[in-house]
Amino acid sequence: MKSFLKRFIYQYKPKYPFGREIRGTVEEYRTLWNDAKNTTYPEIDKYEESSGIAIDYEWFHRLALHTQIVIKKSELCYQHGRVIYSALSKYVNANNHKKINIVEIGTARGFSAIIMSRALKDNNQPGLITTIDPLPHNKKILWNCIDDNNGPRTRLELLKDYKLLIENYIAFKEGLSTDVLPQLKFNRIHFAFIDGAHDYDNVKYESEFISKHQNIGDVILFDDYNRIQYPSLVDAVDEFCKNKLYSKIILNGNKKRNYVIASKL
């Protein structure tokens, strides 16, 4: 998406990005949740086994119920949370940093930011997760999730059960990545998760910006690496890894959702 179009959409973004009406009953969201959490993902299982690190599944699925279970036509899959947790924990254990900086593009309801904060906590690693998204942070809206049945709420209200993790690890930034990233004052970005606008220009800009602040061994994790659904995203990731010298591990979630763990060489 061209920069002027992105800015136009952000400036005139809808007051209700997920609509004005509750999309499903509590029972409907729970049915979708049960289907999603009972689906198996062999490649993600193998990745966890190879890393020797896995998230607490009960905690993981409970978080997903409130932040990943939505009413939509495509199959629900939130396995990127398991990949993020294991990849970040593996990175932390392989290094000895007093504090690490993490950048996320695409906060949405806060699922992956909370996952990363849990990884830092579990591994006794001080750090700051800066997560960026145009969605309003302090406005009460419907989020297309089970909690909508109790009325509109802010993102912080949606994530009220994770208050301590947020206070200790997370900074929410509202805006476009092209506006917010240049405002960050980090000398180094140790780990990043890119899951924002799924087009060539944005992925190229975000990954190259982050790469300038990374050293050998630092990591960028890309979501939705799928040529059928997001061909320009795949092109951007492939070109980035080749041109900026990053190794690339591709993990299959489901037919439409794959992940790339890229490490700087």
DSSP 149-207: GG--B-HHHHTGGGHHHHHHHEEEEES-HHHHGGG---S---EEEE-S--SHHHHHHHH
User: Contact, 211 vs 263, CB < 8 A?
Assistant: no
Q: Per-10-residue mean pLDDT for the chain, 265 residues long?
A: 46 72 95 94 93 96 97 90 97 96 97 98 98 94 96 96 98 95 95 94 96 97 92 96 96 84 98
Residue 96 domain boundaries: 3-264
Non-local CB neighbours of 28 within 8 Å, separated by 6+ positions: 71
DSSP string, 21-60: S--S-HHHHHHHHHHHHT---HHHHHHHHHHT----HHHH
Buried/exposed 84-103: b ≥16 CB within 10 Å, e otherwise? bbbbbbbbbeeeeeeebbbb
User: Contact, 221 vs 246, CB < 8 A?
Assistant: no
Q: 252 forms bridges with which residues in the sheet?
A: 258
pLDDT at 2: 41
Whole-prediction pTM value? 0.93
pLDDT at 253: 81
Residues in the chain: 265
Q: What's the structural domain count of the chain?
A: 1
CA distances from 6 to 24, 131, 144, 182, 201 (A): 30, 18, 23, 17, 11
pLDDT at 13: 60
CATH of the domain at 194: 3.40.50.150
pLDDT at 233: 95
